[in-house]
Structure 1
Amino acid sequence: MLETNAKKNTIKNIVFDFGDIFIDLDKLASMRLIHKEFPEFTLNQDIINTNNEYEKGIISTTNFIESYKKSLPNISDERLKEIWNAIILKIPTHRLAFIEELSQKGNYELFLLSNTNELHIEQVIKNNGLKSYHRFKNCFNKFYLSHEIKFRKPNRDIFEFVLNDNNITPGETLFIDDTLEHINTAKQMGFHTWNLIPGKEDITELFSKDYPFKD
């Protein structure tokens, strides 16, 4: 689903999410594996808070693992990492080619804005190779990972950080994400938005959408 800013300002900047926009994810993989080994496990508010703190870089990987082990008795650190990282798949070559071509044309300022964490980024590099990861990263003017900048979506402060850090305005910026909650915050702030639906839409279809792109 796509929506455009009411002012119809020309888009000069594009802010992309990462997961299920460029890299494929299996979002249910970790819970499937946990429940296979620990059927009684429940995702309570304390665990959700731990996940959010880890995404914001507030707690270290070591503290994150120790926190989970309280709910998963006798699990090894390595097995926990395997389960946690099972969500991460690969960046399809057609999407890498798309963002490389868009970057090379130089018509837009390109930004990546991802809720992620240290372990997941390590797995991204492992699955895709360091060379491909750097090819991807180098396509963007700025590459914002939540655990590095200490903000996370859908909070307004992460969008304000990107705007202020680059001296850009929401009315000239398109934000693309597969999570409606994130889209809603951006929309309220005046961004153009595309709530991309994984499996039904692909980022390579971007310029077939009815946005006020530059000629």
Structure 2
Amino acid sequence: MNELNATVKNIIFDLGGVLLDIDPDLSIEAFRKLGMPDLIKPGGWGYHHEVFLNMEQGLLSDDEFRNGIRALLPRPVSSELIDEAWCAMIIDFPLQKVQLLQKLQADYRLYLFSNTNSIHITCFHQLFREKFNFSLSDLFVKDYYSSEIGLRKPSLESFGFVLNDAGLLPAETLFIDDSGKNIEGAQQAGMQTVHFTPGMELSAIFGNGFSHQ
């Protein structure tokens, strides 16, 4: 495995779309089947209703989120069905990406920073442990979630919180995300970046060095 830019000592990974395979359209379709109109934009993380955004910022409890969803539905729906629809987008953790992180742990301090919510956190942590028999958190020095820190990417404040809490120098930190807006926010915070786009192989970033995006 070739070295990255020699200044890089820390790597912050996004989760969904980078390490975790997701398909938001599956949740959109699941909510449609429950009678909900199109509140989530396909192909991105733009929300038409504040219940989703507030959940991702940690402003709602799980039950408050579920009740907020129920208020948008034409008929009563169980908490289990709401959670299933919300988590339908979560697909799988590819083995080769987990193995890559394990290799990178020898040379870099690894962190996770995801815009997500408590229901998804429970779901993907359970998925990971059932598949690999250890905790997702074991791959990182620390994992950060928007709903737990009360801040979302791409705000400069969110990146500042993570950098300060972890004690990282921005110039020594590489940030990898599939969102162009998040990449712009990380660059404003002074980090080196790689915009992970469709068709890219994560291993190629580390096998051939990386280029700034």
Q: TM above 0.5, one fold?
A: yes
- Unaligned stretches of 5+ in structure 2? 41-45
Q: Is the 8 A contact 2:154 2:182 kept in 1?
A: yes
Q: Is the 8 A contact 2:129 2:136 kept in 1?
A: no
Q: Distance between the aligned counterparts of 1:147 and 1:134, measured in 2?
A: 23
Q: Distance between the aligned counterparts of 2:133 and 2:157, measured in 1?
A: 27
* Residue of structure 2 equivalent to 1:161: 161
1:27 pairs with 2:28:
no
* Residue of structure 1 equivalent to 2:138: 138
Cα deviation for residue 35 of structure 1 reads 2.3
Matching residue within 29, 42, 46 for 2:38: 42
| Larger relative contact order (Cα-Cα within 8 Å, sequence gap ≥ 6) | 1
Matching residue within 87, 90, 97 for 2:89: 87
Q: Is the 8 A contact 1:96 1:136 kept in 2?
A: no
Q: Deviations over 1:160-215 (max 9, x none)?
A: 011111222211111000011111111122211111013x0122222134449xxx
| Cα distance, 1:72–1:133 mapped onto 2, change above 3 Å | farther
Misfit runs of 4+, over 6 Å? none
TM-score, normalising length from structure 2? Answer: 0.85
Q: Distance between the aligned counterparts of 2:82 and 2:98, measured in 1?
A: 30
| Cα distance, 1:130–1:157 mapped onto 2, change above 3 Å | farther
Q: Distance between the aligned counterparts of 1:114 and 1:134, measured in 2?
A: 20
* Residue of structure 2 equivalent to 1:64: 65
Q: Distance between the aligned counterparts of 1:145 and 1:130, measured in 2?
A: 21
Cα deviation for residue 9 of structure 1 reads 7.2
* Residue of structure 2 equivalent to 1:117: 117
Aligned-partner SS, 1:28: helix
Q: Deviations over 1:28-52 (max 9, x none)?
A: 11111222442x6132898532212
Q: Which amino acid aligns with 1:65?
A: R
Q: Is the 8 A contact 1:9 1:171 kept in 2?
A: no
Q: Distance between the aligned counterparts of 2:157 and 2:59, measured in 1?
A: 16
TM-score, normalising length from structure 1? Answer: 0.84
* Residue of structure 2 equivalent to 1:77: 79
- Unaligned stretches of 5+ in structure 1? 1-7
* Residue of structure 2 equivalent to 1:5: none
Aligned residues: 202
Q: Deviations over 1:100-147 (max 9, x none)?
A: 1211x1x21111001111111222133333573744321211111111
Q: Deviations over 1:55-107 (max 9, x none)?
A: 1211101000101111112222211111111001111111111111211x1x2
Cα deviation for residue 150 of structure 1 reads 1.5
Give the percent of matched residue pairs that are identical in Structure 1 and Structure 2. Answer: 33
